Amino acid sequence: MSKPVIAITRPKDRAKKACDIVEKLGGEAVLAPTLDLKPVNTQSLRELVERKDELDWIIFTSPTTIVSLKQFHPEFLKSLNCKLAVIGNKTGKLAEKQGLTVDLMPEDFTAEGLIEEFKKRGVTNKTIGIPRTASARPVLPEELEKLGNKVILAEAYKSLFPMDENAVEELISKIENKEIDAITFTSPLTVENFFEIVKDKEKIAKLLSENLLTVCIGPITAKVLDKYNITYIYPDTYTVPDMMELLFNTLNSR
């Protein structure tokens, strides 16, 4: 029996773990990043660093935020004196690796999950820093402000269109030639950028529903797949290992 071929669309610098899991579970990984991430030292990030003493909370929504701060403002991480909230295990582990204490990580690894935790704790009239990408959804700062908090947003990295469009076009060709068994999407932009490159969107969406197993990391990414009427599955816990476990369990049960 040939190895199942799994397409990985996440950014190249985050893809190694996903590829390793695919190979460990007996599959062959095809990497075609539909999103690239670039740390940037913006004016808003510098302003956040300068105002660190005002912060009651800081929120890290992705590992790339920490990578950016470590690259441009390492002293900021060393001298943080406020509570820290993170979204996701990987972000939490990287924060702890920098010597930080994570005060809050929601069970639901989404902005909505974090908001619910802040509501439960009655967090209000606080100053909250959120370094992230400018293309992130607005729900987190908006809902925190509705709770009566002051939010300081800072752009810590850019979410870019894929640098290597050829790799994505090759993936599309493999999908059309039925050489891919499953495809994974780990954020809304990985889906949006993929379909920016796809010429015949209706045809590829149909193939993703009927010829492949399409797996996404959670409900936020699923909403974008819904736009293209794609059939998909996602795990109960929104992590890459859980996503891959569900993927292989589903393939093996067919």
The structural domains of the chain, with segments of one domain joined by +, span: 5-35+162-252, 38-159
Mean pLDDT, the chain, integer: 95
Residue 204 confidence (pLDDT): 97
Which of the listed CATH numbers 3.40.50.720, 3.40.50.2300, 3.40.50.10090, 2.40.50.100 matches domain 38-159? 3.40.50.10090
Task: Name the CA dihedral angle for 169, 173, 178, 182, rounded to a multiple of 10 degrees.
Answer: 0
Widest Cα–Cα separation across the chain: 60
Q: Hey, CA dihedral for 234, 236, 241, 245, is it positive or negative?
A: negative
Q: Which residues of 190-222 are buried (b: 16+ CB within 10 A; e: fewer)?
A: bbbbbbebbeeeeebbebbbeebbbbbbbebbb
Bridge partner residues of 132 (DSSP): 155
Same CATH fold assignment for domains 5-35+162-252 and 38-159: yes
Residue range 5-35+162-252 forms a domain whose CATH class is alpha beta
Q: Note the pLDDT tens digit of each residue in 78-118.
A: 999 999 999 999 899 999 999 999 999 999 999 999 999 99
Q: Which residues of the chain have pLDDT under 50?
A: none
Could you give the strand order of the β-sheet that contains 150-160, starting from the edge strand earlier in sequence? 36-39, 150-160, 127-133, 57-60, 83-86
Q: Note the pLDDT tens digit of each residue in 120-150.
A: 999 999 999 999 999 899 999 999 999 999 9
Residue 1 confidence (pLDDT): 52
From CA 75, how far away is CA 81, in angstroms rounded?
12
Residue 64 confidence (pLDDT): 94
